[in-house]
Amino acid sequence: MLPKPPNVVAIYPGSFDPITNGHLDLIQRGSRLFDRLIVSILRNESKRPLFSVEERMEMLREVVQVYPNVRVDSFEGLLVDHAAEHSATVLLRGIRAISDYEFELQMALMNRRLRPEVETIFMMSNEAYSFISSRLVKEVFGLGGNISGLVPPTVEARLHRRLPQLQIKGA
């Protein structure tokens, strides 16, 4: 068994298109558990994101700047390789509902097979945010629904600027 490292570095990976208050809640709680937390965006243009990786990184930086041990990054390729590059021993993921579990379990087991020294840790979403997803936020906003309280105010402002694009995508 490997000894516990003196500095536990965790990666919180995701698409964050855009970051929601559910993500932010996990970041806040994760920042208290680990010495360093790296919020890392997957570079995957095939998902046709609303915001570019650079825009998503900017949005994340705006909201995590209050946590001194949290930083923002992006990655391509295997998540476990990205973790190894940062000497991270933990992958942090949130579980909102039982429906998340199957996919998360598959990913965690695959990641463990690829690099057994990297542990996936799940945190239960705060119940206040357990129904929020980036996809639903975009859909509701694009259809004229109220999303205040679901995303940070800076993200809401950026969504307003993207409304025409959102409406085209939703059409």
- C-beta closer to ligand PNS: residue 105 or 128: 105
The answer to whether 138 is a known catalytic residue is no
The answer to whether 4 is a known catalytic residue is no
Residue showing tokens 């923002």: 72
Which residue lies nearest ligand PNS, judged by its C-beta?
14
**Contacts of ligand PNS in 44-83 (CB under 6 A):** 78-79
- Return the residue of 10, 11, 12, 13 that touches ligand PNS, per CB under 6 A: 13
The answer to whether 87 is a known catalytic residue is no
Q: Please tell me which residue in 23, 93, 138, 158 is annotated as part of the active site.
A: 23
Q: Please tell me which residue in 96, 112, 115, 162 is annotated as part of the active site.
A: 96
First to last CA, the chain: 54
- C-beta closer to ligand PNS: residue 4 or 113: 113
**Exposure letters 97-116 (e unless 16+ CB within 10 A, then b):** eeebeeeeeeebeebeeebe
Quote the strand ranges of 6-55, DSSP E: 9-14, 36-42
H or E segment at 72? strand 70-75
Provide the mask over 105-124, with x wherever binding to ligand PNS is found by CB under 6 A and - wherever it is not. Answer: --x--xx-------------
The residue type of 142 is G
H or E segment at 83? helix 79-85
Positions marked active-site: 23, 47, 96, 134
- Contact residues toward ligand PNS (CB under 6 A) are 13-15, 42, 78-79, 107, 110-111
